[in-house]
A and B are shown apart, each in its own frame.
Chain A
Amino acid sequence: MFWDKTNETLKGKKLEALQVRRLKQTIRQSQHVGFYKKRLTQAHVRPEDIKRPDDIQKIPFTRKQDLRDGYPFGFFAVPLKKVVRIHTTSGTTGKPTVVGYTRNDLDTWAELIARNMTMAGVTENDVFQNMVNYGMFTGGLGFHYGAEKIGMTVIPSATGNTKRQIEMIKDFGVTTIHCTPSYAMHLSEVAEEMHTSLDSLKTGIFGAEPWSETMRSSLEERLGVTAFDSYGLSELFGPGVAFECPERDGLHIWHDIYFVEIINPKTGEQLGDGERGELVITPLKKEAMPLLRYRTGDITMKMEDGCLCSRGQKIGRITGRSDDMLVIRGINVFPSQIEHVLLKIPEVGNQFMVYVDKVNHLDEMTVDVEINRDYFSGELADLARIQKKVVQELHDALELRTTVKLVEPGSLPRFEGKAKRVVDRRGDAI
Protein backbone atom coordinates (compact mmCIF):
# COMPACT_ATOMS: atom_id res chain seq x y z
CA MET A 1 0.00 0.00 0.00
CA PHE A 2 1.19 3.46 -0.93
CA TRP A 3 0.28 6.87 0.41
CA ASP A 4 2.11 8.81 -2.30
CA LYS A 5 3.24 6.26 -4.85
CA THR A 6 4.87 8.70 -7.28
CA ASN A 7 7.21 10.20 -4.73
CA GLU A 8 7.79 7.02 -2.78
CA THR A 9 9.04 5.14 -5.84
CA LEU A 10 10.93 7.98 -7.52
CA LYS A 11 14.26 6.70 -8.91
CA GLY A 12 17.10 7.35 -11.32
CA LYS A 13 17.37 10.59 -13.30
CA LYS A 14 14.01 11.87 -12.17
CA LEU A 15 14.98 11.54 -8.54
CA GLU A 16 18.41 13.07 -9.10
CA ALA A 17 16.92 16.08 -10.87
CA LEU A 18 14.49 16.63 -8.03
CA GLN A 19 17.25 16.24 -5.44
CA VAL A 20 19.51 18.76 -7.18
CA ARG A 21 16.67 21.25 -7.53
CA ARG A 22 15.70 20.90 -3.89
CA LEU A 23 19.30 20.96 -2.70
CA LYS A 24 19.80 24.30 -4.42
CA GLN A 25 16.65 25.60 -2.81
CA THR A 26 17.84 24.35 0.57
CA ILE A 27 21.16 26.15 0.15
CA ARG A 28 19.30 29.34 -0.73
CA GLN A 29 17.06 28.91 2.29
CA SER A 30 20.03 28.24 4.58
CA GLN A 31 21.59 31.55 3.62
CA HIS A 32 19.04 33.17 5.90
CA VAL A 33 20.93 31.54 8.76
CA GLY A 34 24.00 33.46 9.94
CA PHE A 35 25.95 30.27 10.59
CA TYR A 36 25.40 28.92 7.06
CA LYS A 37 25.91 32.26 5.33
CA LYS A 38 29.37 32.40 6.87
CA ARG A 39 30.11 28.70 6.29
CA LEU A 40 29.08 28.73 2.65
CA THR A 41 31.04 31.91 1.95
CA GLN A 42 34.14 30.38 3.55
CA ALA A 43 33.71 27.19 1.51
CA HIS A 44 32.95 29.20 -1.67
CA VAL A 45 29.74 27.29 -2.29
CA ARG A 46 26.80 28.92 -4.06
CA PRO A 47 23.52 27.25 -5.01
CA GLU A 48 24.51 27.26 -8.68
CA ASP A 49 27.61 25.19 -7.87
CA ILE A 50 25.38 22.20 -7.30
CA LYS A 51 24.95 20.54 -10.68
CA ARG A 52 24.98 16.87 -9.75
CA PRO A 53 24.08 15.10 -6.50
CA ASP A 54 27.79 14.43 -5.95
CA ASP A 55 28.46 18.16 -5.70
CA ILE A 56 27.03 18.03 -2.20
CA GLN A 57 30.52 17.05 -1.05
CA LYS A 58 31.60 20.66 -1.53
CA ILE A 59 29.46 21.63 1.44
CA PRO A 60 30.91 21.38 4.96
CA PHE A 61 29.19 19.14 7.54
CA THR A 62 26.88 20.42 10.25
CA ARG A 63 27.31 18.90 13.70
CA LYS A 64 24.97 18.66 16.63
CA GLN A 65 27.27 20.96 18.57
CA ASP A 66 26.74 23.67 15.93
CA LEU A 67 23.01 23.49 16.61
CA ARG A 68 23.59 23.66 20.37
CA ASP A 69 25.76 26.72 19.88
CA GLY A 70 22.89 28.36 18.03
CA TYR A 71 20.58 28.06 21.04
CA PRO A 72 17.80 29.04 21.00
CA PHE A 73 16.81 30.32 17.52
CA GLY A 74 20.17 30.71 15.75
CA PHE A 75 19.31 28.17 13.03
CA PHE A 76 15.88 29.55 12.12
CA ALA A 77 15.78 30.69 8.50
CA VAL A 78 12.38 32.35 8.84
CA PRO A 79 11.07 35.03 11.21
CA LEU A 80 9.59 33.64 14.41
CA LYS A 81 6.09 34.62 13.32
CA LYS A 82 6.36 32.02 10.56
CA VAL A 83 7.37 29.34 13.06
CA VAL A 84 4.20 27.64 14.22
CA ARG A 85 5.75 25.06 16.50
CA ILE A 86 8.88 24.40 18.51
CA HIS A 87 10.22 21.09 19.75
CA THR A 88 13.43 20.39 21.60
CA THR A 89 15.57 17.29 21.65
CA SER A 90 16.47 15.41 24.76
CA GLY A 91 20.02 16.55 25.21
CA THR A 92 21.94 14.59 27.79
CA THR A 93 24.23 17.47 28.63
CA GLY A 94 23.76 21.21 28.67
CA LYS A 95 21.10 23.01 26.70
CA PRO A 96 18.66 21.13 24.50
CA THR A 97 18.62 21.58 20.73
CA VAL A 98 15.71 23.66 19.52
CA VAL A 99 13.90 22.81 16.30
CA GLY A 100 11.23 24.95 14.62
CA TYR A 101 8.54 24.20 12.04
CA THR A 102 6.60 26.36 9.59
CA ARG A 103 3.09 25.35 8.66
CA ASN A 104 4.45 23.73 5.48
CA ASP A 105 7.06 21.85 7.54
CA LEU A 106 4.35 20.37 9.73
CA ASP A 107 2.46 19.33 6.65
CA THR A 108 5.53 17.70 5.06
CA TRP A 109 6.21 15.88 8.31
CA ALA A 110 2.65 14.56 8.63
CA GLU A 111 2.85 13.39 4.99
CA LEU A 112 5.98 11.38 5.80
CA ILE A 113 4.35 9.72 8.80
CA ALA A 114 1.34 8.94 6.63
CA ARG A 115 3.64 7.32 4.06
CA ASN A 116 5.30 5.22 6.75
CA MET A 117 2.17 4.01 8.43
CA THR A 118 0.48 3.23 5.13
CA MET A 119 3.59 1.31 4.10
CA ALA A 120 3.17 -0.75 7.28
CA GLY A 121 -0.34 -1.58 6.13
CA VAL A 122 -2.45 0.47 8.51
CA THR A 123 -5.44 2.40 7.22
CA GLU A 124 -8.30 4.62 8.35
CA ASN A 125 -9.93 1.46 9.68
CA ASP A 126 -7.29 1.12 12.37
CA VAL A 127 -7.35 2.35 15.96
CA PHE A 128 -4.04 3.82 16.99
CA GLN A 129 -2.70 4.28 20.51
CA ASN A 130 0.28 6.61 20.62
CA MET A 131 2.16 5.77 23.80
CA VAL A 132 5.00 8.25 23.71
CA ASN A 133 5.63 11.62 25.30
CA TYR A 134 3.40 14.33 23.87
CA GLY A 135 5.47 17.24 25.06
CA MET A 136 8.69 18.53 23.61
CA PHE A 137 9.56 15.07 22.26
CA THR A 138 8.73 14.88 18.55
CA GLY A 139 7.43 11.31 18.70
CA GLY A 140 4.07 12.25 20.21
CA LEU A 141 2.71 15.03 18.02
CA GLY A 142 4.63 13.75 15.00
CA PHE A 143 2.84 10.42 14.84
CA HIS A 144 -0.39 11.98 16.06
CA TYR A 145 -0.86 14.26 13.06
CA GLY A 146 0.42 11.68 10.59
CA ALA A 147 -2.08 9.12 11.85
CA GLU A 148 -4.91 11.66 11.77
CA LYS A 149 -3.95 12.50 8.22
CA ILE A 150 -4.51 8.87 7.25
CA GLY A 151 -7.81 9.02 9.07
CA MET A 152 -6.98 6.53 11.79
CA THR A 153 -8.79 6.71 15.11
CA VAL A 154 -6.09 8.23 17.27
CA ILE A 155 -5.80 7.77 21.03
CA PRO A 156 -3.26 10.27 22.36
CA SER A 157 -2.58 8.22 25.46
CA ALA A 158 1.00 9.50 25.90
CA THR A 159 3.12 7.79 28.54
CA GLY A 160 2.47 6.58 32.06
CA ASN A 161 -0.12 4.47 33.85
CA THR A 162 0.58 1.24 32.05
CA LYS A 163 -2.48 -0.51 33.46
CA ARG A 164 -4.73 2.20 32.06
CA GLN A 165 -2.92 1.91 28.71
CA ILE A 166 -3.69 -1.80 28.66
CA GLU A 167 -7.33 -1.24 29.57
CA MET A 168 -7.66 1.23 26.70
CA ILE A 169 -6.10 -1.15 24.21
CA LYS A 170 -8.63 -3.75 25.29
CA ASP A 171 -11.68 -1.52 25.62
CA PHE A 172 -11.11 0.56 22.47
CA GLY A 173 -10.02 -2.36 20.30
CA VAL A 174 -6.66 -0.80 19.53
CA THR A 175 -4.97 -2.38 16.50
CA THR A 176 -1.83 -0.29 16.22
CA ILE A 177 0.55 1.00 18.85
CA HIS A 178 3.57 3.25 18.79
CA CYS A 179 6.09 3.37 21.63
CA THR A 180 9.71 2.66 22.44
CA PRO A 181 10.67 -1.03 22.23
CA SER A 182 11.55 -1.06 25.93
CA TYR A 183 8.16 0.32 26.88
CA ALA A 184 6.50 -2.28 24.67
CA MET A 185 8.36 -4.95 26.60
CA HIS A 186 7.21 -3.42 29.88
CA LEU A 187 3.65 -3.23 28.56
CA SER A 188 3.72 -6.94 27.76
CA GLU A 189 5.04 -7.72 31.25
CA VAL A 190 2.28 -5.74 32.92
CA ALA A 191 -0.38 -7.27 30.65
CA GLU A 192 0.91 -10.68 31.68
CA GLU A 193 0.71 -9.77 35.38
CA MET A 194 -2.85 -8.54 34.81
CA HIS A 195 -3.65 -11.79 32.97
CA THR A 196 -4.89 -9.67 30.08
CA SER A 197 -4.41 -10.66 26.49
CA LEU A 198 -4.20 -7.90 23.92
CA ASP A 199 -5.96 -9.70 21.09
CA SER A 200 -6.95 -6.64 19.07
CA LEU A 201 -3.33 -5.62 18.43
CA LYS A 202 -1.81 -6.33 15.06
CA THR A 203 0.78 -3.66 14.31
CA GLY A 204 3.55 -2.35 16.57
CA ILE A 205 5.62 0.65 15.58
CA PHE A 206 8.74 0.93 17.68
CA GLY A 207 11.42 3.55 17.58
CA ALA A 208 13.48 6.22 19.37
CA GLU A 209 16.08 3.69 20.49
CA PRO A 210 18.01 0.92 18.76
CA TRP A 211 16.57 -2.57 19.18
CA SER A 212 17.64 -5.98 18.03
CA GLU A 213 16.06 -8.70 15.88
CA THR A 214 15.79 -10.88 19.00
CA MET A 215 13.83 -8.08 20.64
CA ARG A 216 11.60 -7.99 17.55
CA SER A 217 10.69 -11.68 17.75
CA SER A 218 10.18 -11.38 21.47
CA LEU A 219 7.82 -8.38 21.11
CA GLU A 220 5.94 -10.00 18.24
CA GLU A 221 5.38 -13.11 20.27
CA ARG A 222 4.43 -11.36 23.48
CA LEU A 223 2.16 -8.70 21.98
CA GLY A 224 0.89 -10.55 18.92
CA VAL A 225 1.94 -7.75 16.58
CA THR A 226 3.99 -7.37 13.46
CA ALA A 227 6.77 -5.07 14.61
CA PHE A 228 8.08 -2.22 12.44
CA ASP A 229 11.21 -0.19 13.05
CA SER A 230 10.80 3.56 12.87
CA TYR A 231 13.70 5.96 12.56
CA GLY A 232 13.90 9.67 12.87
CA LEU A 233 15.44 12.53 14.72
CA SER A 234 14.09 15.87 15.79
CA GLU A 235 16.60 17.84 13.74
CA LEU A 236 15.01 16.22 10.64
CA PHE A 237 11.40 16.87 11.78
CA GLY A 238 11.30 13.87 14.12
CA PRO A 239 10.11 10.32 13.47
CA GLY A 240 9.23 9.57 9.87
CA VAL A 241 12.67 9.82 8.25
CA ALA A 242 12.99 6.10 7.57
CA PHE A 243 10.72 3.15 8.17
CA GLU A 244 10.37 -0.53 7.38
CA CYS A 245 8.12 -1.88 4.66
CA PRO A 246 6.44 -5.29 5.13
CA GLU A 247 9.70 -6.97 4.01
CA ARG A 248 11.24 -5.70 7.25
CA ASP A 249 14.74 -5.98 5.96
CA GLY A 250 16.16 -2.49 6.24
CA LEU A 251 14.44 0.88 6.37
CA HIS A 252 13.17 2.92 3.43
CA ILE A 253 14.36 6.46 3.65
CA TRP A 254 12.50 9.09 1.65
CA HIS A 255 14.98 10.20 -0.99
CA ASP A 256 12.80 13.00 -2.32
CA ILE A 257 12.86 14.60 1.13
CA TYR A 258 16.26 13.55 2.48
CA PHE A 259 19.61 13.39 0.73
CA VAL A 260 21.45 10.44 2.25
CA GLU A 261 25.17 9.91 2.62
CA ILE A 262 27.16 7.40 4.64
CA ILE A 263 30.58 8.62 5.68
CA ASN A 264 33.62 7.39 7.49
CA PRO A 265 33.17 9.26 10.79
CA LYS A 266 36.90 9.79 11.14
CA THR A 267 37.80 11.06 7.67
CA GLY A 268 34.45 12.40 6.46
CA GLU A 269 34.81 10.46 3.18
CA GLN A 270 31.71 9.05 1.54
CA LEU A 271 31.32 5.27 1.76
CA GLY A 272 29.77 2.95 -0.79
CA ASP A 273 26.77 0.64 -0.53
CA GLY A 274 27.14 -2.03 2.13
CA GLU A 275 29.79 -0.12 4.04
CA ARG A 276 28.93 0.76 7.59
CA GLY A 277 29.46 4.35 8.71
CA GLU A 278 27.81 7.48 10.01
CA LEU A 279 24.55 8.57 8.46
CA VAL A 280 24.68 12.12 7.11
CA ILE A 281 21.42 13.69 5.97
CA THR A 282 20.54 16.86 4.16
CA PRO A 283 16.82 17.50 4.42
CA LEU A 284 15.59 18.77 1.06
CA LYS A 285 12.28 20.30 2.01
CA LYS A 286 12.63 22.18 5.25
CA GLU A 287 11.68 25.82 5.61
CA ALA A 288 12.08 26.87 9.23
CA MET A 289 15.32 25.10 9.88
CA PRO A 290 17.26 23.98 6.81
CA LEU A 291 20.30 21.83 7.51
CA LEU A 292 23.20 20.95 5.28
CA ARG A 293 24.96 17.60 5.56
CA TYR A 294 23.83 16.99 9.11
CA ARG A 295 25.88 14.36 10.92
CA THR A 296 23.31 12.23 12.73
CA GLY A 297 25.80 10.23 14.80
CA ASP A 298 23.85 7.09 13.86
CA ILE A 299 25.70 4.09 12.46
CA THR A 300 24.17 2.32 9.46
CA MET A 301 24.79 1.57 5.79
CA LYS A 302 23.15 1.91 2.40
CA MET A 303 21.69 -1.40 1.35
CA GLU A 304 21.65 -2.92 -2.09
CA ASP A 305 18.93 -1.32 -4.19
CA GLY A 306 15.85 -3.21 -5.28
CA CYS A 307 13.30 -3.92 -2.57
CA LEU A 308 10.30 -6.07 -3.54
CA CYS A 309 7.96 -3.21 -2.61
CA SER A 310 9.56 -1.06 -5.37
CA ARG A 311 10.36 1.87 -3.10
CA GLY A 312 13.83 3.45 -3.04
CA GLN A 313 17.15 2.40 -1.58
CA LYS A 314 17.08 1.30 2.03
CA ILE A 315 19.42 1.87 4.94
CA GLY A 316 20.30 -0.85 7.44
CA ARG A 317 18.76 -0.86 10.88
CA ILE A 318 20.60 1.50 13.19
CA THR A 319 23.06 -0.50 15.30
CA GLY A 320 23.59 2.36 17.70
CA ARG A 321 24.29 6.02 17.89
CA SER A 322 27.92 6.90 17.85
CA ASP A 323 27.25 8.81 21.09
CA ASP A 324 25.59 5.72 22.66
CA MET A 325 28.66 3.75 21.91
CA LEU A 326 30.81 2.96 24.90
CA VAL A 327 34.47 2.36 24.56
CA ILE A 328 35.48 -0.12 27.25
CA ARG A 329 39.16 -0.94 27.36
CA GLY A 330 39.35 0.03 23.71
CA ILE A 331 36.42 -2.16 22.65
CA ASN A 332 33.30 -0.59 21.16
CA VAL A 333 30.15 -1.64 22.97
CA PHE A 334 26.58 -0.71 22.07
CA PRO A 335 23.87 -1.17 24.69
CA SER A 336 21.84 -2.95 22.00
CA GLN A 337 24.42 -5.75 21.94
CA ILE A 338 23.95 -6.34 25.65
CA GLU A 339 20.18 -6.41 25.20
CA HIS A 340 20.59 -8.92 22.40
CA VAL A 341 22.59 -11.26 24.65
CA LEU A 342 20.17 -11.00 27.57
CA LEU A 343 17.16 -11.75 25.40
CA LYS A 344 18.69 -15.10 24.57
CA ILE A 345 19.04 -16.11 28.22
CA PRO A 346 15.67 -17.16 29.66
CA GLU A 347 16.96 -17.31 33.24
CA VAL A 348 17.26 -13.52 33.38
CA GLY A 349 14.87 -10.68 32.52
CA ASN A 350 15.12 -8.26 29.62
CA GLN A 351 15.69 -5.12 31.62
CA PHE A 352 19.24 -4.15 32.41
CA MET A 353 21.49 -1.35 33.56
CA VAL A 354 25.11 -0.85 32.66
CA TYR A 355 27.57 0.93 34.92
CA VAL A 356 31.03 1.86 33.76
CA ASP A 357 33.69 2.73 36.30
CA LYS A 358 37.37 3.35 36.38
CA VAL A 359 39.06 0.99 38.82
CA ASN A 360 42.83 1.31 39.11
CA HIS A 361 42.85 3.17 35.78
CA LEU A 362 41.03 0.30 34.11
CA ASP A 363 37.52 0.43 32.68
CA GLU A 364 35.16 -1.90 34.52
CA MET A 365 31.72 -2.63 33.20
CA THR A 366 29.00 -3.90 35.50
CA VAL A 367 25.71 -5.19 34.13
CA ASP A 368 22.75 -5.40 36.48
CA VAL A 369 20.14 -7.88 35.36
CA GLU A 370 17.02 -9.27 36.97
CA ILE A 371 16.69 -12.92 37.79
CA ASN A 372 13.67 -14.43 36.08
CA ARG A 373 11.05 -15.39 38.68
CA ASP A 374 10.40 -18.76 37.05
CA TYR A 375 14.02 -19.81 37.16
CA PHE A 376 14.69 -19.29 40.85
CA SER A 377 15.18 -22.70 42.39
CA GLY A 378 16.03 -21.45 45.84
CA GLU A 379 19.58 -22.73 45.50
CA LEU A 380 22.54 -20.41 45.65
CA ALA A 381 24.55 -22.67 43.37
CA ASP A 382 21.93 -22.34 40.60
CA LEU A 383 22.08 -18.58 40.89
CA ALA A 384 25.84 -18.64 40.66
CA ARG A 385 25.52 -20.80 37.56
CA ILE A 386 23.13 -18.31 35.94
CA GLN A 387 25.48 -15.47 36.80
CA LYS A 388 28.37 -17.31 35.24
CA LYS A 389 26.34 -18.04 32.13
CA VAL A 390 25.51 -14.36 31.63
CA VAL A 391 29.17 -13.40 32.10
CA GLN A 392 30.17 -16.02 29.55
CA GLU A 393 27.54 -15.07 26.96
CA LEU A 394 28.42 -11.38 27.31
CA HIS A 395 32.06 -12.27 26.92
CA ASP A 396 31.34 -14.24 23.76
CA ALA A 397 29.37 -11.39 22.24
CA LEU A 398 31.45 -8.41 23.34
CA GLU A 399 34.86 -9.98 23.79
CA LEU A 400 34.92 -8.22 27.09
CA ARG A 401 34.98 -9.36 30.71
CA THR A 402 32.11 -7.84 32.64
CA THR A 403 30.82 -8.08 36.16
CA VAL A 404 27.25 -9.32 36.25
CA LYS A 405 25.02 -8.54 39.19
CA LEU A 406 21.83 -10.49 39.62
CA VAL A 407 19.11 -8.30 41.09
CA GLU A 408 15.57 -8.94 42.26
CA PRO A 409 12.80 -9.16 39.67
CA GLY A 410 11.12 -5.82 39.04
CA SER A 411 13.84 -3.84 40.78
CA LEU A 412 15.45 -2.23 37.73
CA PRO A 413 14.04 1.00 36.31
CA ARG A 414 11.49 0.73 33.49
CA PHE A 415 11.67 3.49 30.90
CA GLU A 416 8.69 4.98 29.16
CA GLY A 417 10.60 7.42 27.01
CA LYS A 418 14.10 6.86 25.74
CA ALA A 419 15.79 4.29 27.90
CA LYS A 420 18.83 5.50 29.80
CA ARG A 421 20.47 2.21 30.61
CA VAL A 422 24.06 3.32 30.69
CA VAL A 423 25.65 5.16 33.58
CA ASP A 424 29.21 6.08 32.76
CA ARG A 425 30.93 7.02 35.99
CA ARG A 426 34.44 7.17 34.60
CA GLY A 427 34.36 10.94 34.61
CA ASP A 428 33.74 10.94 38.37
CA ALA A 429 37.06 9.26 39.12
CA ILE A 430 39.87 11.48 40.36
Chain B
Amino acid sequence: MDVKKYVIKQISVFSENRPGRLAAIAHALGEEKVNILAFSIAEANGFGVVRALVDQPERAYKKLSSIGFNVAFTDVIAVHMQDRPGGLYEIAKILGDANINIEYSYAYSGKEGAVLILRVDQVVDAIEKISKTGATLIESSVFH
Protein backbone atom coordinates (compact mmCIF):
# COMPACT_ATOMS: atom_id res chain seq x y z
CA MET B 1 0.00 0.00 0.00
CA ASP B 2 1.26 3.46 -0.84
CA VAL B 3 0.82 5.14 2.49
CA LYS B 4 2.29 8.41 1.25
CA LYS B 5 -0.84 9.34 -0.67
CA TYR B 6 -2.72 9.51 2.61
CA VAL B 7 -0.27 11.92 4.24
CA ILE B 8 -1.71 15.42 4.15
CA LYS B 9 0.24 18.63 4.62
CA GLN B 10 -1.29 20.86 7.24
CA ILE B 11 0.18 24.33 7.71
CA SER B 12 0.86 25.37 11.29
CA VAL B 13 1.33 29.06 11.97
CA PHE B 14 2.78 30.49 15.15
CA SER B 15 0.66 33.37 16.35
CA GLU B 16 0.69 35.62 19.35
CA ASN B 17 -2.52 35.70 21.24
CA ARG B 18 -3.63 39.21 20.31
CA PRO B 19 -6.43 40.73 18.28
CA GLY B 20 -6.07 40.72 14.52
CA ARG B 21 -3.59 37.89 14.06
CA LEU B 22 -6.12 35.46 12.58
CA ALA B 23 -7.42 38.23 10.33
CA ALA B 24 -3.86 38.86 9.13
CA ILE B 25 -3.38 35.18 8.27
CA ALA B 26 -6.77 34.84 6.60
CA HIS B 27 -6.29 38.04 4.61
CA ALA B 28 -2.92 36.91 3.31
CA LEU B 29 -4.32 33.54 2.22
CA GLY B 30 -7.30 35.24 0.58
CA GLU B 31 -4.99 37.49 -1.38
CA GLU B 32 -3.07 34.46 -2.64
CA LYS B 33 -6.35 32.76 -3.60
CA VAL B 34 -5.61 29.96 -1.19
CA ASN B 35 -8.75 28.24 -0.01
CA ILE B 36 -8.97 27.17 3.61
CA LEU B 37 -10.79 23.85 3.92
CA ALA B 38 -10.59 23.53 7.67
CA PHE B 39 -8.75 25.14 10.50
CA SER B 40 -8.42 25.20 14.25
CA ILE B 41 -6.66 27.34 16.80
CA ALA B 42 -4.75 25.86 19.69
CA GLU B 43 -3.89 28.20 22.49
CA ALA B 44 -1.42 28.10 25.34
CA ASN B 45 0.01 30.76 27.65
CA GLY B 46 -0.23 33.90 25.52
CA PHE B 47 0.47 32.33 22.16
CA GLY B 48 -1.12 29.84 19.85
CA VAL B 49 -0.80 27.80 16.73
CA VAL B 50 -3.25 28.26 13.88
CA ARG B 51 -3.60 24.98 12.02
CA ALA B 52 -5.14 24.96 8.59
CA LEU B 53 -5.85 22.53 5.83
CA VAL B 54 -5.58 24.46 2.58
CA ASP B 55 -5.79 23.62 -1.10
CA GLN B 56 -2.33 25.04 -1.88
CA PRO B 57 -0.04 24.46 1.13
CA GLU B 58 3.22 25.48 -0.58
CA ARG B 59 1.71 28.73 -1.76
CA ALA B 60 0.29 29.44 1.69
CA TYR B 61 3.65 28.64 3.33
CA LYS B 62 5.51 30.99 1.01
CA LYS B 63 3.09 33.85 1.41
CA LEU B 64 2.83 33.65 5.19
CA SER B 65 6.59 33.32 5.60
CA SER B 66 7.17 36.30 3.33
CA ILE B 67 5.09 38.55 5.56
CA GLY B 68 6.96 37.42 8.64
CA PHE B 69 4.86 34.57 10.00
CA ASN B 70 6.55 31.53 11.40
CA VAL B 71 5.10 28.61 9.46
CA ALA B 72 5.72 24.88 9.52
CA PHE B 73 4.25 21.89 7.71
CA THR B 74 2.72 19.17 9.83
CA ASP B 75 1.72 15.74 8.55
CA VAL B 76 -1.87 14.83 9.32
CA ILE B 77 -4.31 12.23 8.06
CA ALA B 78 -7.99 12.51 7.22
CA VAL B 79 -10.70 9.93 7.85
CA HIS B 80 -14.13 9.90 6.34
CA MET B 81 -17.07 9.95 8.77
CA GLN B 82 -20.80 9.48 8.41
CA ASP B 83 -22.47 12.90 8.67
CA ARG B 84 -25.17 11.75 11.09
CA PRO B 85 -25.58 11.20 14.85
CA GLY B 86 -23.09 8.57 15.97
CA GLY B 87 -20.74 9.16 13.01
CA LEU B 88 -17.86 10.42 15.13
CA TYR B 89 -18.37 7.62 17.66
CA GLU B 90 -17.95 4.95 14.98
CA ILE B 91 -14.60 6.35 13.90
CA ALA B 92 -13.38 7.17 17.39
CA LYS B 93 -14.12 3.64 18.52
CA ILE B 94 -12.23 2.16 15.57
CA LEU B 95 -9.21 4.38 16.37
CA GLY B 96 -9.38 3.48 20.02
CA ASP B 97 -9.65 -0.22 19.33
CA ALA B 98 -6.70 0.02 16.93
CA ASN B 99 -4.75 1.65 19.74
CA ILE B 100 -4.04 4.86 17.83
CA ASN B 101 -3.10 7.79 20.02
CA ILE B 102 -4.46 11.15 18.82
CA GLU B 103 -2.42 14.24 19.60
CA TYR B 104 -5.11 16.55 18.35
CA SER B 105 -7.94 16.51 15.92
CA TYR B 106 -10.51 18.72 14.26
CA ALA B 107 -13.31 18.11 11.84
CA TYR B 108 -15.32 19.70 9.08
CA SER B 109 -18.18 18.82 6.84
CA GLY B 110 -17.78 19.67 3.16
CA LYS B 111 -18.50 18.34 -0.29
CA GLU B 112 -16.50 15.21 0.58
CA GLY B 113 -18.89 14.66 3.46
CA ALA B 114 -17.80 14.80 7.10
CA VAL B 115 -14.03 14.62 7.57
CA LEU B 116 -12.04 14.02 10.71
CA ILE B 117 -8.48 15.36 10.59
CA LEU B 118 -6.02 13.66 12.90
CA ARG B 119 -2.56 14.44 14.12
CA VAL B 120 -0.93 11.27 15.40
CA ASP B 121 2.65 10.65 16.43
CA GLN B 122 3.29 7.66 14.14
CA VAL B 123 1.68 8.67 10.84
CA VAL B 124 2.64 5.65 8.72
CA ASP B 125 1.79 3.21 11.44
CA ALA B 126 -1.60 4.89 11.97
CA ILE B 127 -2.39 4.80 8.23
CA GLU B 128 -1.66 1.08 8.09
CA LYS B 129 -3.72 0.37 11.18
CA ILE B 130 -6.69 2.48 10.06
CA SER B 131 -6.75 0.98 6.57
CA LYS B 132 -7.14 -2.46 8.14
CA THR B 133 -10.17 -1.41 10.20
CA GLY B 134 -12.44 -0.69 7.29
CA ALA B 135 -12.54 3.06 7.95
CA THR B 136 -12.00 5.22 4.85
CA LEU B 137 -8.84 7.28 4.68
CA ILE B 138 -8.96 10.26 2.35
CA GLU B 139 -6.10 10.78 -0.09
CA SER B 140 -4.18 14.04 0.04
CA SER B 141 -5.02 14.66 -3.65
CA VAL B 142 -8.61 15.33 -2.57
CA PHE B 143 -7.38 18.43 -0.72
CA HIS B 144 -4.41 19.62 -2.74
What residues of chain A have their CB less than 8 Å away from a CB belonging to chain B?
371, 373, 376-380, 383-384, 387, 405-411
Contact = CB atoms under 8 A, between A and B. Distances in A.
A408 B70 CA distance: 7
Given A383-B14, A406-B46, 8 more contacts: A376-B70, A377-B72, A378-B12, A378-B73, A384-B44, A387-B44, A387-B47, A408-B16
Interface string B127-141: 000000000000000
Contact of B47 (A373, A377, A383, A409): A383
5 contacts: A376-B72, A383-B49, A387-B45, A406-B47, A408-B68
B102 interface: no
A231 B1 CA distance: 68
Interface of B: 10, 12, 14-16, 42, 44-49, 51, 68-74
Given A376-B14, A380-B42, A383-B14, A405 B47 contact: yes
A411 B72 contact: no
6 smallest CB-CB distances across A and B, nearest first, come from A378-B12, A378-B72, A378-B74, A376-B70, A405-B46, A380-B42
Nearest to B12: A378
Contacts of B68: 408-411
Given A408-B14, A408-B15, A409-B70, A379 B49 contact: yes
A407 B47 contact: yes
A186 to B, nearest CB: 15
A411 B44 contact: no
Nearest to B42: A380
B44 A407 contact: no
Contacts of B12: 378-379
A387 B48 CA distance: 12
Contacts of B48: 380
A189 to B, nearest CB: 13
Nearest to B75: A378
Nearest to A410: B68
A300 B44 CA distance: 41
Nearest to B15: A408
A386 B108 CA distance: 31
A409 B48 CA distance: 14
B44 A380 contact: yes
A371 B14 contact: yes
Contacts of A377: 72
B138 to A, nearest CB: 21
Nearest to B43: A380
Contacts of B51: 378
Given A373-B70, A408-B69, A409-B70, A380 B16 contact: no
Nearest to B46: A405
Nearest to A409: B70
B44 A383 contact: yes
A254 to B, nearest CB: 46
Contacts of A408: 14-16, 68-70
Given A409-B68, A409-B70, A384 B45 contact: yes
A387 B73 CA distance: 21
A182 to B, nearest CB: 20
A224 to B, nearest CB: 27
B46 A380 contact: no
A408 B68 CA distance: 8
A373 B14 CA distance: 10
Contacts of B15: 408
A378 B46 CA distance: 16
B120 to A, nearest CB: 12
A373 B73 CA distance: 13
Contacts of B16: 405-408, 411
A129 to B, nearest CB: 28
A44 B114 CA distance: 93
Contacts of A405: 16, 45-47
Nearest to B73: A378
A384 B69 CA distance: 18
A389 to B, nearest CB: 13
